[in-house]
Structure 1
Amino acid sequence: MIDFRYFLVSIAAIFLALAVGVALGAGPLKGELDQQLRATIESLGKEKDGLRQEINALQQGDKYRDSFAADLAPSLVKNRLAGEKIVVVALPDANRGLVKDVQDSLRAANGTVTGTVQMTAKWADPEQRQFVDDLAARLVTGDVRMPVEGSAYDRAGIVLARALVTRDAQAAGRKDAATPTIMGAFGEGDLVDADSDLPQADLAVVVAPPMPKGGEKPDPAANDAWVALARSLDSASQGAVVVGDTSSATEGGVLASLRNNAQASAQVSSVDVANLTSGRVAAVWALAEQAGGGVGQYGAVGTTDGALPKAATGP
């Protein structure tokens, strides 16, 4: 406990220091201090004006960049996905506006969106892992080969992919007899939210969520579940691309987990600037590249293969 006498002495010292400061400020140092203060204020004001001009210039530059990209985008994506059937899979907390923009870009590329599947957080909840695994085991069809080794998420991803995508170009766009049963059961289990009778697609786009604000990082096990799902969709189709904003490619994000997984990144493509028009052009090109048998990681964060595929397939 602080001695009361020490406390009184400390208070007295503080008041004495304040008194001396006031006396000096009102006396011999007053003029000099006033001049220094005015000079500092003027300097800060000039610095603020300079920063404001820089911000305005950057905003104008961004506005021009976005306008330029928006004008060019239609010609850059036209017919890139002609004849392709694409399913959009939105992960929990994926930005709804981004999901819609991705759908619009796919259609602008003359691709057909077979539907949108909204995944729920329950799919990747560690406490629900056994439930997910058991349900997948009951839903597996005879034409699906389940891995001897692998996680519950690998097995569940394979079953969901069986319902949504196909490698058979002739079957793409048609409804499959197994889809209603699989999607219905996953829907009743609160694992997905989607039409239970979707036509099959031959390509898939997975929309990742941004990193949570406030420094909180997602559970790595959940990211592993989403990476496993992306790999399953890719293996069962002509290709898959995972898209998101730049935060999703930073430490703890879904795209970062994908890119840090050597097997997944050699199989599934990604684009980390899909919130920009230019990024969605890159996503369309990356999907066309997947359809042609290629793979790449594109965007602005970390080590990538560039802004977009160097030689996009298609017209």
Structure 2
Amino acid sequence: MIRSRGYAVPLVGVLLALATGIALGAGPLTDTGSSAAPGPAVHQPAPQAGYADAFAGAVATRLYGNGLSRRPVAVLTAPGADPATVAAVTAQVKAAGGQVSGTYALGSQLVDPQQKSLVDTLGAELGKQLHAHLDRSATTYPRIGELLAVAAANRGNSVGQVNDDVSAVRQSMVAAHLVTVPHDAQGNQPGTAPLVLLVLGHDLDQAIADGLVSGLAARSRGVVVIGDTAAPDLVGLRQDGVTKVAAAVDGAETTAGQVASVLALIRSWRTPGGSFGASGVTGAAPLG
């Protein structure tokens, strides 16, 4: 069971309150007794549409409090993830003091229901070969999610070494076009990271999304999944109980959502799960 924590007033509500002004000098207390007919009504411009994002961006670093210092993050991008969103949230991770260990692109075959046989066969074979024991009761997608975690994540406090298990999983999944593993100019691949940020793109089959995220959460210290406002996959993760082990944040297309996702990463170091963002039920952002 997730322990509840106190949260500040939801960020969106705070922003709306700040953005809403009360026009002084326009009410009955300003009556001067003049008999002149009132002039035409003056249209008050609406608050700037981008104020919430501007505010979130301005206060983000102070909210983070360097909360990701010395805490590596592996970024996973699902098919259709917006590169601009990925770049923006990566910048926010760095603003919180974090280090992106690597960005891994999930292949379309990994999340294609028509390729389930391939995913199942590869997962079963890799499970037999690894020194690390996977959950033997896991079905196709939770198992491949665990294997993704072996390739990119760890449950420790720092960057993990690329050992035989990590190399075997990476090589097999790359060969099957299930994931792309980053490397530097010399061909060196990154170590694994305790925290995982999964950026969604196209809507996934919900059973696949549930399985991948729950598998990632089983072998990492913390997982945060981010998608656009009211993304169906995030709603499904919450309804299916996956947000008990991994945090979901919607509003990825906004600065406010990106800031909330980094705050969720900070929280996930010690407390997993939660539903945050524009449609979050736990709160707009974990501020406590």
2:236 counterpart of 1:257: yes
The Cα shift of 1:240 comes to 0.3
2:100 counterpart of 1:113: yes
Instruction: Report the AA paired with residue 271 of structure 1.
Output: V
- 1:237 corresponds, among 220, 243, 262, to 220
The Cα shift of 1:173 comes to 4.5
Aligned to 1:43: none
Q: Which structure carries more helix by proportion?
A: 1
The Cα shift of 1:123 comes to 0.7
Take 1:109 and 1:160, find their aligned partners in 2: how far apart are those partners?
25
Take 1:175 and 1:186, find their aligned partners in 2: how far apart are those partners?
15
Take 1:274 and 1:125, find their aligned partners in 2: how far apart are those partners?
23
1:58-207 to structure 2, matched below 5 A, reads 58=46, 60-140=47-127, 141-169=129-157, 172-195=159-182, 197-207=189-199
Aligned to 2:13: none
How many percent identity over aligned positions?
Answer: 28
- 2:259 corresponds, among 273, 281, 285, to 281
Q: Rg bigger for which structure? A: 1
Take 1:304 and 1:131, find their aligned partners in 2: how far apart are those partners?
36
Q: Is contact 1:167-1:202 (8 Å) kept?
A: yes
The Cα shift of 1:258 comes to 0.8
Q: Is contact 2:52-2:256 (8 Å) kept?
A: no
**Aligned residue-pair number:** 241
Superposition misfits of 4+ residues, deviation over 6 angstroms: none
Instruction: Report the AA paired with residue 278 of structure 1.
Output: A
Q: Is contact 1:224-1:257 (8 Å) kept?
A: no
**3-state SS in 1 of match to 2:170:** helix
- Judged with a 3 Å threshold, the aligned counterparts in structure 2 of structure 1 residues 142 and 180 are, in CA distance, closer, same or farther, namely closer
RMSD: 2.2
- 2:248 corresponds, among 254, 270, 273, to 270
2:284 counterpart of 1:307: yes
Q: TM-score, normalised by structure 1?
A: 0.70
**3-state SS in 2 of match to 1:306:** coil
**3-state SS in 2 of match to 1:116:** strand
Take 1:287 and 1:108, find their aligned partners in 2: how far apart are those partners?
13
Residues 204-241 of structure 1 show CA distances to partners (whole Å, capped at 9, x for unaligned) of 0011126xxxxxxx46xx23212211112222111101
2:206 counterpart of 1:209: no
**3-state SS in 2 of match to 1:246:** coil
The Cα shift of 1:305 comes to 0.9
Take 2:54 and 2:260, find their aligned partners in 1: how far apart are those partners?
16
Q: TM-score, normalised by structure 2?
A: 0.77
Residues 31-68 of structure 1 show CA distances to partners (whole Å, capped at 9, x for unaligned) of xxxxxxxxxxxxxxxxxxx9xx78xx44x522333322
2:285 counterpart of 1:293: no
Structure 1 unaligned segments of length 5 or more: list them.
1-49, 211-217
Take 2:126 and 2:275, find their aligned partners in 1: how far apart are those partners?
33
Take 1:114 and 1:69, find their aligned partners in 2: how far apart are those partners?
25
The Cα shift of 1:300 comes to 1.9
Residues 134-158 of structure 1 show CA distances to partners (whole Å, capped at 9, x for unaligned) of 1122223443333343321111111
Take 2:54 and 2:142, find their aligned partners in 1: how far apart are those partners?
42
Instruction: Report the AA paired with residue 48 of structure 2.
Output: G
Take 1:175 and 1:158, find their aligned partners in 2: how far apart are those partners?
16
- Judged with a 3 Å threshold, the aligned counterparts in structure 2 of structure 1 residues 64 and 300 are, in CA distance, closer, same or farther, namely closer
Higher RCO, Cα 8 Å, sep 6+: 2
- Judged with a 3 Å threshold, the aligned counterparts in structure 2 of structure 1 residues 198 and 67 are, in CA distance, closer, same or farther, namely same
Q: Is contact 1:87-1:205 (8 Å) kept?
A: yes
The Cα shift of 1:92 comes to 0.8
Structure 2 unaligned segments of length 5 or more: list them.
1-40, 184-188
